[in-house]
Amino acid sequence: MLRLGTVLALIGIGLTFSACGYNTIPTLQEQAKARWSDVQNQYQRRADLIPNLVATVQGYAAQEKNVLTAVVEARAKATQITVNASDLTDPDKLKAFQDAQAQLTGALGRLLAVSENYPDLKSNANFLALQSQLEGTENRIAVARRDYIDAVRTYNTALRTFPTVIWAKTAFSGEKPMAEFTASEGSEKPPTVKF
């Protein structure tokens, strides 16, 4: 009889923990980290495309050395700043990463705008393929960022709402809200392109 009581008590405790939201916080945290990995993956894809794009443009637009140099430097800076899953609660690190990526986005925009001045370049199959891949990657980045923002919102909400707030204040008291992406300063204005 004692064994049956112990087993029933363990089952009751297990059901209580599974239904009360104890697993919600770590599950949501891992989902947000996975979404961050998706964001980093898409930024890496873009960084990998850039050398080929720059090399293709170099052959046609040698006099646009300033723009090409700016893209290469922005890529180098963007790939040097990394944010690991453990840094997702530090808004300053996320902002530095975001700012470096925004600089790269601006440099790439200028590079693509320069290509408009070179009809031969615009019709080059390699350039068109790279430009298409880059545009697709920019879309993937936007989707990955949106998914990350949604996962972080869900996680941060779980830290503050009942019943998971009970676990957030006790068993997971060391867990902090994760930082979200924010629009870069001046992003509401279109970039200025000068020829």
Q: For residue 62, what are the domain limits?
A: 39-195
User: Around Cβ 106, how many Cβ atoms within 10 Å?
Assistant: 19
Q: Is residue 2 part of a domain?
A: no
Residue 183 pLDDT grade (very low, low, confident, very high; cuts 50, 70, 90): low
Q: What is the largest CA-CA distance in the chain?
A: 89
Mean pLDDT, range 46-60, rounded to an integer: 86
What mean pLDDT is reported for the chain? 85
95 phi, psi to nearest 5 deg? -65, -40
What lies within 8 Å, CB to CB, of 40 at 6+ separation is: 82, 83
pLDDT for position 41: 93
Identify the top-confidence range among 26-30, 49-53, 186-190: 26-30
Cα–Cα distance list, 92 to 83, 103, 159 (Å): 10, 17, 21
Identify whether 143 is part of a domain: yes
Q: In this structure, is residue 8 part of a structural domain?
A: no
Report yes or no on 33 lying in a domain.
no
Single-letter residue type at 71: V
Q: For residue 58, is it within any domain?
A: yes
Is 54 domain-assigned? yes
The total domain count for the chain is 1
CATH code of the domain covering residue 175: 1.20.1440.20
